[in-house]
Structure 1
Amino acid sequence: MLVRMDRRFRFGAVGESIRSGAELADTARRAEDLGYDVLVLRDHFVGEPFGDQLAPMAALAWAAAGTSTLRLGTMVLANDYRHPVVLAKEAATLDHLSGGRFELGIGAGWLREEYEAAGMPFDRAGTRVGRLEESLRILRSLLDGQKTTFAGEHYRVDGLTVFPPPGRRPPLVVGAGSDRMLGIGGRLADTVGVLPRALPDGTISDEITERLPETIARKVDRVREAADGRDVELSLMVTPTFGPDPRRTADAVARRRGWGASAGDLVLDMPTQFVGPPEHIAEQMLARRDRYGFTYYQVPDAMVEQFAPVIPLLTG
């Protein structure tokens, strides 16, 4: 993978606390005014662990109508919830309605409780990931404006095109934590969101080892290897912790996460943790762009105001 050190930083707001159209419109306008590049929505229909969510594609169309420069994205859709041909149609339409501002984020699906509540089979990880890979190939072809024929283990498409034809393919974003998923993202996505591993029990790993520098470096290397020279944007979803003293703030994060007070030094070096005042967090982001290549960061909508002072330090 070509790591462009001149790639500009991008910042996204994750609209996970939005429960109404009014809140959605307000969050989208605030994010745009504060200099965020993207508003992204999750894809869940159970209340835990993120709270109740609006349906992302319809909600993003509403957000597009009330903004002019803000990009709109999903972080990330569960592939099993939509057939790729149907999703390509929705993505092409949303990209058209937003004036080319849509970014399609998709993953293999991981929340077992959600599958079971909906009566959907929660297949083993290899099957779900295999379906995602086929889906991405179909999506790339359809959204590139190609007449698409595909015959795989999970999907068959026979000579379809998508309307409205995209002026250019909406960027594809893959959230990935395992080696196989990181490889798929490197081969087929425009942006790879590096995540902790999804576990077989339908949860996300909270192990400290998933957040340490050597683990993140290994995951980035996997994306680079699979990208084979393509320029792929690297992303992280983070919740910075602000405070005047980075070390004391790191100690507080370590205690809160249950890693122990002695883990403060580890927190200071974790690529997924940012602590201290805005100027220090901006320095951390610059250093981690140089070390790992991360340039796209997403923060929860609850902290868009608090994080906003960091943005001009890295984009202005």
Structure 2
Amino acid sequence: MTDTATATTSLRAAAHPFRFAVQYGKPESPAAFREMARKVEDLGYSTLYCHDHFWDSWSPIVHPAIAAEITTTLRVGTLVFAADYRHPAVLAKDFATLDLLAEGRTEFGIGAGWLTEDYEQSGIGLDRPGVRIDRMIEALEVIKGLWLGEPFEYDGEHYQISGMVGRPLPHTPGGPPIIIGGGGKRVLTEAARLADIISLNPNLREGTVGADAARSSVAGKFAERRQWIADAAGERFGDIEIQLNTFMALVTEDADSILEQFAPGFGLTLAEAREVPLVLAGTVDDICEQLHHHREAYGASYIAIHDPEVDAMAPVVARLAGT
């Protein structure tokens, strides 16, 4: 069997059923947020996320807690916590409380931090990417250790824990599913070892979403990222759920006219823009076809969209969720 055939067989074996998440920005009001959370659940979305930035948005702990309280099946979480913004002992306690109150309907996302504006405005030191990734790994090791409920010792470069017992324990034994997001080889290699869900992103090393991130969003780059994960994960690749956190999900009869408008600004040709995995554009049939392709090509079955797109994408969710 050729290497290509082996990779294809491995990818097919790893395919998971489709599920869909919504990442919520700033709610218009408390009532609007509650209405959206209930709608997302009713329409068959799996999960409601918020993000972790310092711009005009709500708390990434309180926000999911309210969503969990007013729903019955919806999963909640943050996509993703920036490890630099909180001590892991604090985050372990906060998220264990959330998981306990949500009775296990949570997903814990963690990342190394990337948005330069957050660091500049908050005064938090922005270290080079390798240091931030090292700190994220240590933070996750501390968090997972504290979720075991036994006296925990940790002596790392960035964090030291001395005989601490994590309380409360999460509802989920050992803690909820772990999400790690990223677009570089180092972070995805670590994610293949540590995460249950890997959120594929462009490379955000510039600290903003610009032309560099767009160039790293082309199809070939995502195929490479999938291969990095498969190589690092080995036999556990089939257990990992791969997520796409989309830039755009647009149901339209004329996708090309939309793509033609934004592609040049990001240095992409129309043909390249059509194949960017983080952009879903076309009719419901077109988008369903795109998602089947993305699952085949990148192993991606878990699709995250944004709150303005919930209603338009509902027919896609109804057709594909669970298949």
Do both share a fold (TM > 0.5)? yes
Question: Which of 50, 57, 75 is 1:41 aligned to?
Answer: 50
CA 1:196–1:204 in structure 2 vs 1: closer, same or farther (change >3 Å)? same
> 1:190-211 deviations in whole A, cap 9, x for unaligned?
11111111224x2234344312
Query: More deviation in 255-264 or 102-111?
Result: 255-264
Question: Which of 161, 168, 177 is 1:164 aligned to?
Answer: 168
Structure 2: gaps (5+ residues): 1-6
Amino acid at match of 2:68: A
Amino acid at match of 1:235: Q
Matched residues in 2 for 1:279 and 1:17: separation? Answer: 30
Question: Which of 291, 309, 315 is 2:315 aligned to?
Answer: 309
Contact 1:147 1:160 in 2 (8 A): yes
Cα displacement (A) at 1:278: 0.8
Residue of structure 1 equivalent to 2:190: 184
Amino acid at match of 2:98: L
Query: More deviation in 221-230 or 205-214?
Result: 205-214
Helix, strand or coil: the match of 1:170? coil
Question: Which of 236, 243, 258 is 1:235 aligned to?
Answer: 243
Contact 2:20 2:321 in 1 (8 A): no
Matched residues in 1 for 2:93 and 2:119: separation? Answer: 24
Contact 1:281 1:310 in 2 (8 A): yes
The 5-angstrom pairing of residues 196-211 of structure 1 reads 196-200=202-206, 202-207=207-212, 208-211=214-217
TM-score by structure 1 length? 0.90
Matched residues in 1 for 2:157 and 2:226: separation? Answer: 29
Residue of structure 1 equivalent to 2:92: 88
* C-alpha RMSD of the superposition: 2.1
Cα displacement (A) at 1:36: 0.5
**Paired residues, what number?**
307
Matched residues in 1 for 2:260 and 2:267: separation? Answer: 6
Structure 1: gaps (5+ residues): 47-51
Amino acid at match of 2:208: T
Alignment pair present for 1:194 and 2:203 = no
Cα displacement (A) at 1:71: 0.3
Cα displacement (A) at 1:173: 0.6
Residue of structure 2 equivalent to 1:49: none
CA 1:189–1:277 in structure 2 vs 1: closer, same or farther (change >3 Å)? same
CA 1:170–1:263 in structure 2 vs 1: closer, same or farther (change >3 Å)? same
Helix, strand or coil: the match of 1:308? helix
CA 1:19–1:149 in structure 2 vs 1: closer, same or farther (change >3 Å)? farther
TM-score by structure 2 length? 0.88
Helix, strand or coil: the match of 1:250? helix
CA 1:261–1:121 in structure 2 vs 1: closer, same or farther (change >3 Å)? closer
Helix, strand or coil: the match of 1:17? coil
Matched residues in 2 for 1:86 and 1:162: separation? Answer: 10
> 1:205-240 deviations in whole A, cap 9, x for unaligned?
434431222110111111122222222111111112
Residue of structure 2 equivalent to 1:175: 181
Amino acid at match of 2:103: G
Matched residues in 1 for 2:267 and 2:99: separation? Answer: 47
CA 1:129–1:262 in structure 2 vs 1: closer, same or farther (change >3 Å)? closer
Matched residues in 2 for 1:262 and 1:120: separation? Answer: 34
Q: Aligned residues: percent identity?
A: 36
